[in-house]
Structure 1
Amino acid sequence: MPMLDNFRDKEFLDQITILNEISGSKNPDALPGLLELLKNPVGDTSIDYMVVNALNAVLSSNENEVVAGLNDSHDGYKILCIRVAGEYAIKRAAHPLVALAETETDLDRLMEILTSLARIADDSALPIFRRFLSHEDAFIQSSCIEALGKLKDAESVTHLKAMITESEAPDRFEVCDITTWKAVDALATYDSDDTISFLVEKLHHHNPTVRRIITDALLSIGAQCIPMLLSAFEAGDTDNKILAANVLGFLRNKLGADGLVAAFDKGLAEDENVRYAVYEALGRIGTMKGIICLVDGLSETEELILMAVIGGLEKHVNPGMISTLTSMIIKADDQADRLARGVISSKATAIFDALYETQGAADALMDALAESNDPEIIEEFRVVLNEIGGSRAEQDIQRLPQVSTGSKKALAADDSRSMCAMHRAILTDLGFEPFMATNGEEAYEFIEQGEEFEIVITDMNMPVMDGMELVGKIRSTPGLEDVPIIMVTTESEASQQNLATKAGVTAFITKPFKPDELKAKIAEITL
């Protein structure tokens, strides 16, 4: 091609211009010249890189050359053709790539071949993917698992299930390896009742990170999971009920809410932890039956469970619910006090606004607000009172205490709105400035930003990054090896606490708990 004549003798800017023009035109006539430049580089890193890009562009519209190049003697060109075949899903390259994989001994090159075959997604590659499912290299295994899931290979389902089951063995469950992660994701792509039922069965996997991955997989599948999750709720133990309710809540589907209410009515939520999870789920979904169940939950006496009820109702304020809540609060008994504190601690501003219309309810709420040590909560309700306006609201604003931010800092991570509210209330009462996060990733961002904490409180099961991962990252961060960490959990298995202790957790507290219990635990480990 004339453009590449005497290319090595041209000025740097001219070389760049020529290569850019070839990349844009994808002119196949440039292939011999580019191949010569690839095999005998100019020596300038920028130019040599652009030669590869230009070759990639030309090959992208020339399948014959790509297929032929798969057996080229030049290693760099061969690898480039392997990558182009996958990048542009060239079906004709599948059979030659399978042939290469069968004899390839270099692990890096084998990985390149399998990656391209996975992108091409041709059934002719199924035997080679199955063959390497038991390969000693975890990344090659993972590539094959991912490809088999993408191709929905029915023959591999049994093997994939076995991989997940085996990952719960006593000598393996402490670590979530990449093959287990990919096996979960692969099974989720099948969308069959059989694979979904298996994932639901493994929802309470011994490893917390695998639990999070399975939860994410079920959420990606969607409503098809609901019958299996409801069956697991009805037949499962406490932990399975909790996790099934959590997933149903995040799915936000009416069928899930109706099923949870039906199970509740059958007496299948007697355990306090299970009721807490059900109330949280129903609050996320917001069906009529669910709201009625939540209104009934206003009679709960455990403070944490009551906050889950109020947090759920805050999203679905209606006249009937407000009427019931008003009549309960104006009784001025112990339950009325609990409800008023719950509304304030939960920052349930919509409920507060509606209840404030009734003098007795407003007085109870203001009494609870005046006791708060949280400057953020006080400011939030000050805004609400200003919006309500009127002489009574102005007088109540004057009642609000002047609270300064605590001198000590504490970090709390939990995906539950009510649990975060509980942590916040407890920490401010103890004089801490609370930093709240809904998952481990958000929590660790505070640390990355340079915040220093005297104590960390984390849930075990959270989306995005679970508590175990968060603890691991904290303990591997210089200067945080000894910061006290409390893990709040509903776990009943001793193995889970042993695993968390090994990761670096200082102490545990089990949900649901009374505020004084967590206060005592914090005092115990921070003295």
Structure 2
Amino acid sequence: MSILEDFRNKEFLDQITILNEISGSKTPDALPELIELLKNPVGDTSIDYMVVNALNAVLSSNENKIIEGLTDEHDGFRILCIRVAGEHRLVRAAEPLVQIARDEQDPDRLMEILTSLAHIGDPVALEVFRKHLGHEDAFIQSSCIEALGKLEDDESIDAFKAILTESEAPERYEVCEISTWKAIEALATFNREDTLAFLVEKLHHKNPTVRRIITDALVNIGTPAIPMLLQSFESGDTDNKILAANVLGFVADRSGANGLVAAFDKGLADDSNVRYAVYEALGRIGTMKGIICLVDGLNEEDELILMAVIGGLEKHVNPGMISKLTDLIIQANDQSDRLAKAIISSRATRIFDALYETAGAGDALMDALTASRDAEIIEEFRAVLAEVGGSRAEEDMARLPQLAAGSFKALAADDSRSMCAMHRAILSDLGFEPVIATNGEEAYDFVEQGEEFKIIITDMNMPVMDGMELVTKLRNTPGYEDVPIIMVTTESEATQVSLAEKAGVTAFITKPFKPDALKAKIQEITALSRPEIG
């Protein structure tokens, strides 16, 4: 007697039990009756869904029935067989699926076929994917791009390049289309010099989301992309140098650091924004040549650049660097004050600990620490002093102010450690309680958790979620329609400002900037002065 005999007349729980048993055992004898139940459902949504699951399980062990079902007259069973063929990567199904796809006109069914062929991954499907590479349906086109990339189809490379190039057209660059995203990922699968060079060439794409996707792709490619990135750094404009340095920092390969130092020595980092990007990258990589370059950077006078230098050195503390820092700080001049302030604002606790025992350096650091209005920083260094111990440390701890949290919260998002430190210092000095995020997604998480912010500061180019996407999400979030947003960027193209304004940015400030400039901008757009919010 069949397990499904008189199934329609059984109780609901009995039907569930039977279908679960079939799914587990994949009983082949149940196949004809399962197909009949699919074609003529019982009418209960739960049971009909379980019939599909049971049929899927049984079909997975019956290749002949799957092949036969690809041309079945019943649309539901045919689609199920197409899906099962792809799900179980049934190579025998590739050729018949290709034949079906050649004449398929319905976009939904075509998408099912292409998805299945993509899962199977047989080169026999190349002709079909190429045929629909320019399909008007964006999802069909993207599915084909993705499949051709995975199959590493050399013949499609020019088409992928064309998609990325065309995405910068005046009428298209404002939106990152799914086809552009998939074309970048497809190009990244080819371990070829020309595809890597092309991605590096497009690193400063007009659309910030596309830039983020290209950056992520190059970072994932890693070492093979370094020669092209260094070439871009040496021959590109300021924006290209900055973006290339950023990627090299994230790749974190010794050859990238050595190349940046060589370019630095050639005088190719005269622009302050470029030097800032190079110092950040060298700090992430941590080679000997890079650390020497960072130590030389201790003579920088720009506050933000100096914080990038200190942030990089904090990760690679060594006796020689500490000796150099000590000599500079004990001179008790303007540069000494800048260095002490940078160490405190950067929360460079390892450097602080190494310098503290030297009286002149320790005194300068304590002066900078007691001047801070950041309660979190004060407590962090208080813990360092407690660990140092002794009467001197106890006296210095007694000097530290007891600070209350700011009256208003401010959110700052930037993937740069030194820039985050700068934002903390500025916002604390203005009396805000700073909340810091390293990318747009992390920043938006605070908003979703119910945090309320008086003002938001965001970088444009960030991993995971860029500033433009963050601003767009914020403006579509109840309560954040009118919250002031300042975008900090190195972008020089008017198109970028236009895009940001359309997304909802309130004001802009361009790096490099002095802290007072950002303070003034914050006060201007919040219509608040320090005494009112401090």
Query: How far does residue 27 in structure 1 lie from its aligned partner after superposition?
Result: 2.1
The Cα offsets for residues 453-504 of structure 1, whole Å up to 9 and x where unpaired, read as 1111000000000000001111111221211111000111111111111111
The CA deviation string for residues 409-449 of structure 1, in whole angstroms up to 9 with x for no partner, is 11100000000000000001001111110000011111111
Structure 2 equivalent of residue 105 of structure 1? 105
- 1:72-107 CA distances to partner (integer Å, 9 max, x unpaired)? 111111110010111111111111111221222221
Q: Secondary structure at the match of 1:482?
A: coil
Deviation of residue 12 (structure 1)?
2.1
How does 1:243-258 map onto structure 2 within 5 Å?
Answer: 243-258=243-258
Per the alignment, residue 492 of structure 1 pairs with 492
Counterpart of 1:277 in structure 2: which amino acid? Answer: A
- Once the two structures are TM-superposed, the CA of residue 342 in structure 1 deviates from its matched residue by 0.2
The CA deviation at 1:37 is 1.0
Q: Return the letter of the residue paired with 1:203.
A: L
Instruction: Determine what percentage of the aligned residue pairs are the same residue.
Output: 77
Instruction: Compare 52-61 and 412-421 and name the one that shifted more.
Output: 52-61
Which residue number in structure 2 is paired with residue 76 of structure 1? 76
1:190 partnered with 2:190: yes
Runs of 5+ consecutive residues of structure 2 not aligned to the other structure: 528-534
The equivalent of 1:291 in structure 2 is: 291
Give the structure 2 partner of residue 57 of structure 1. 57
Q: Distance in 1 between matches of 2:476 and 2:6?
A: 56
Q: Distance in 1 between matches of 2:45 and 2:506?
A: 52
Relative to the length of structure 1, the TM-score reads 0.99
Task: Tell me how far 1:344 sits from its aligned partner.
Answer: 0.2
1:411 match: secondary structure: strand
Please list, as runs of the form range in 1=range in 2, the aligned pairs for 1:111-190 lying within 5 A after superposition: 111-190=111-190
2:41 alignment counterpart = 41
Q: 2:457 aligned with 1:447, yes or no? A: no
CA distance in 2, matches of 1:206, 1:158: 20
Alpha-carbon separation, structure 1, partners of 2:439 and 2:350: 25
Give the residue type in structure 2 aligned to 1:480. Y
Q: Give the distance between the partners of 1:167 and 1:409, measured in 2 at CA.
A: 39
In structure 1, what is the equivalent of residue 205 of structure 2? Answer: 205
Is 1:262 matched up with 2:262? yes
SS at match of 1:496: helix
Aligned partner of 1:312: which letter? Answer: G
Q: How does 1:119-518 map to 2 (within 5 A)?
A: 119-518=119-518
Structure 2 distance, partners of 1:291, 1:38, is 68
What's the counterpart of residue 530 of structure 2? none
Superposed displacement of residue 14, structure 1: 2.1
Distance 1:133 1:433 in 2: 51
Secondary structure, counterpart of 2:479 in structure 1: coil
**How far apart in 1 are the matches of 2:280 and 2:292?**
14
Deviation, 1:11, is 2.3
SS in 2 for 1:133: coil
- State the 1:49 CA deviation: 1.1
Deviations 1:140-188 (CA, angstroms, capped at 9, x unpaired)? 1000000000011111100110110010011111111111001001110
Q: Distance in 1 between matches of 2:95 and 2:28?
A: 24
Kindly state the Cα deviation for residue 10 of structure 1 after the two structures are TM-superposed: 2.1
Cα distance, 1:62 vs structure 2 = 1.2
The whole-number CA distance in structure 2 between the counterparts of 1:63 and 1:15 is 26
What secondary structure, in the 3-state scheme, does the structure 1 residue paired with 2:189 have?
Answer: helix
One-letter amino acid of the structure 2 residue matched with residue 493 of structure 1: E
Secondary structure of 1:142's counterpart equals helix
For 2:399 and 2:499, locate their aligned partners in 1 and report how far apart those are by CA, in whole Å.
Answer: 48
Where does structure 1 lack aligned partners over 5 or more consecutive residues? none
One-letter identity of the residue aligned with 1:424: R
Q: Pick which of 449-458 and 361-370 moved more.
A: 449-458
2:531 aligns with: none
Matches of 1:447 and 1:507, distance apart in 2: 20
Alpha-carbon distance in structure 1 between the residues aligned to 2:523 and 2:418 = 22
Structure 1 match to 2:532: none
The AA in structure 1 aligned to 2:470 is: L
Q: State the SS of the aligned residue for 2:458.
A: strand
Once residues 254 and 42 of structure 2 are traced to their aligned partners in structure 1, the CA distance between those partners, rounded to angstroms, is 65
Q: Deviations over 1:309-352 (max 9, x none)?
A: 00000000001000000110010000000000000000000000
Q: State the alpha-carbon separation in 2 of the partners of residues 204 and 99 from structure 1.
A: 42
Measure, in 2, the Cα distance between the counterparts of 1:229 and 1:196.
9
Cα shift at 1:198: 0.4
Q: Which secondary structure state, in structure 2, belongs to the residue aligned with residue 410 of structure 1? A: strand
Deviates more, 1:257-266 or 1:96-105: 96-105
List per-residue Cα deviations over 1:377-436 (Å, max 9, x = no partner).
000000000011011000000000111111011110000000000000000100111111
CA distance in 2, matches of 1:449, 1:16: 40
| CA distance in 2 between partners of 1:388 and 1:478 (Å) | 48
TM-score (norm 2): 0.98
How far apart are residue 222 of structure 1 and its match? 1.4
> Quick one: distance in 1 between partners of 2:62 and 2:250?
47
Amino acid at match of 1:497: V
Report the RMSD for the aligned CA atoms in angstroms.
0.8
In structure 1, how many angstroms separate the alpha carbons of the residues matched to 2:15 and 2:173? 56
How many aligned residue pairs are there? 527
Equivalent residue of 2:312, what SS? helix
Q: Pick which of 413-422 and 3-12 moved more.
A: 3-12
User: What is the alpha-carbon distance in structure 1 between the residues aligned to residue 216 and residue 88 of structure 2?
Assistant: 29
The answer to which of 471-480 and 269-278 deviates more is 471-480
178-187 or 493-502, which deviates more: 493-502
How far, CA to CA, are the matches of 2:443 and 2:520 in structure 1? 23
Rounded to whole Å, the distance in 1 between the matches of 2:491 and 2:61 is: 56
In 2: Cα distance, 1:44 partner to 1:388 partner:
71
Aligned partner of 1:232: which letter?
Answer: S
1-side partners of 2:498 and 2:450: how far apart?
Answer: 30
Q: Separation in 1 of the partners of 2:81 and 2:217?
A: 34
**TM-aligned CA deviation for residue 13 of structure 1:** 2.2
Q: Structure 2: how far apart are the matches of 1:17 and 1:173? A: 55
Match of 1:90 in 2: 90
Letter in 1 for 2:122: D
* CA-to-aligned-CA distance 1:124-147 (integer Å, 9 cap, x gap): 111111111111110110000000
SS of residue matched to 1:524:
helix
- Partner amino acid, structure 1, of 2:82: I
**1:290: Cα distance to partner?**
0.5
Tell me the SS of whatever aligns to 1:2: coil
* Bigger mean CA offset, 237-246 vs 119-128: 119-128
Deviations 1:204-260 (A, max 9, x none): 000000000000111111111111111110111000000000000001111111110
